[in-house]
Amino acid sequence: MRSSTGQYTFSGGDLGWRKAEDLPSLFADVAPNMAKGATSDPIRSDSG
C-alpha cells in the first residue's frame, strides 16, 4: 500500500470480476487464452 495510490489499493489490487468487454484491451487480449485458475505473468502497461 505504501507505493500504490490507485483506486484498488485497499483491496490488494484485486480488480474483482469483470466482463471481457469491460476490460482494457491490454488485459482482454491475455485473459481468453488462459486456462481456468491460471495466473498470468505480469502485464506491463504505460501505468506500470
Tell me if 20 sits within 8 A of 29, measured CB to CB: no
Question: Which grid cell sits at 44?
Answer: 506491463
What pTM value is reported for the model?
Answer: 0.44
Q: What pLDDT does residue 35 have?
A: 93
Q: What pLDDT does residue 33 have?
A: 85
Q: What pLDDT does residue 15 have?
A: 65
CA distance 48 to 5: 12
CA distance 23 to 17: 10
Q: Tens place of pLDDT for every residue, the chain, 48 residues?
A: 455 566 666 666 666 787 878 888 888 888 888 899 999 888 888 876
Q: What pLDDT does residue 44 have?
A: 83
13 alpha-carbon distance from chain centroid = 8
Q: What pLDDT does residue 1 have?
A: 43
Which DSSP helix (H) or strand (E) runs through 6? none
